[in-house]
Amino acid sequence: MSNKFGHFGKPRFPALFKLLSDGVASKDGETWVKRRRILNPGFHLEKLKAEQAKRVMKSFQKITIPGYMLLPTENNRKMHRINKEIETILRGLIEKRIQAMKEGESKDDLLGLLLESNIRDPDGSSKSGMAMTIEDIMGECKLFYFAGMETTSILLTWTMVVLSMHPEWQDRAREEVTMILYEVLRLYPPGIKLSRKAYEDVELGGIVYPAGVIIEISVLMIHHDPDIWGSDVHEFKPDRFSEGIFKASKGPGAFLPFGWGPRICIGQNFALLEAKIALCMILQRFEFALAPSYTHAPHTVVNMRPMHGAQVKLRVI
């Protein structure tokens, strides 16, 4: 599927994307290409190393009943009130930045790149169809705040749980965290599946899939396949990533915590850098162990997380 870009797109989840707003993750075709070109520079690794991640959104509720969001329930009223507050804050930040740009100040962070799209294209030419409205920009901001907070916090949660189960790795983690994070992402990927909708009839592996069909790829099953990762697939062995991602498994495309192909998660560098910084700060100050009350029960509610929470005891070192 990764070499058939253009044959597949994201399936529509109206309630979900209405909550997250109309960000790049929900776009297809030329709109996605243009939006992705604008956003890509904001997630280059070297740029992210100089920036600090911010946590804004704290929770998410999956909506499955059509029209449910329109009902005046207590949760819906609270959700709409919070959404309005967030939009007010974002609009204020955007207007403040626009005024600063008019006064000659310029920043090349993500918000600056989004606003710059209203002035010139990424290739330096004048404003054209690449321009984004204020509503578009607010939608992207909400999407990235949500995605950046939720997935990274879950990654750090599982990392602390796994390092508590394997305390011998805590000292090694203080020297090298990358392969530990990769192994945690393999064992407990934030998203357990990838979904794509076929735009047209397409043949994959000798099977013809008709246009309109939704194809789901189980990330969790691929990450736990012994034919790909070896007989120790269910064990926590960060050393398998000691020579990088591509030598860790027996085939390309086997490591999918951020997706694959042209639509691979635009924020993967940001998420990994944020997780590395946070984990290093924790390891510098604490050693940790699981509390007796902890029960290991991975559970999926949008993302994979501990069903009963992660009770971890910290001790200052």
Q: Which residues are annotated as a binding site for heme?
A: 265
**Taking the CB of residue 152, how many other CB atoms lie within 10 A of it?**
21
H helices of the chain, where? 14-20, 29-39, 45-48, 74-102, 110-116, 134-165, 168-173, 178-187, 219-223, 226-229, 268-285
Sheet holding 214-218, edge to edge: 8-9, 193-198, 214-218
DSSP 182-214: HHHHHHS-SS-EEEEEESS-EEETTEEEPTT-E
Q: How far apart are CA 56 and CA 48, in angstroms?
A: 18
Read off the tokens for 41.
């520079």
Q: How far apart are CA 190 and CA 186, in angstroms?
A: 9
- Catalytic annotation, residues: 151, 258, 265
Q: How far apart are CA 239 and CA 166, in angstroms?
A: 13
Q: Are strands 303-306 and 214-218 parallel, antiparallel or unpaired?
A: unpaired
Instruction: Specify binding-site residues.
Output: 265
**Taking the CB of residue 69, how many other CB atoms lie within 10 A of it?**
17
Q: Are 183 and 238 in contact (CB under 8 A)?
A: yes
Q: How far apart are CA 5 and CA 118, in angstroms?
A: 28
Q: How far apart are CA 44 and CA 192, in angstroms?
A: 25
Nearest to 90 by CA among 52, 146, 134: 134
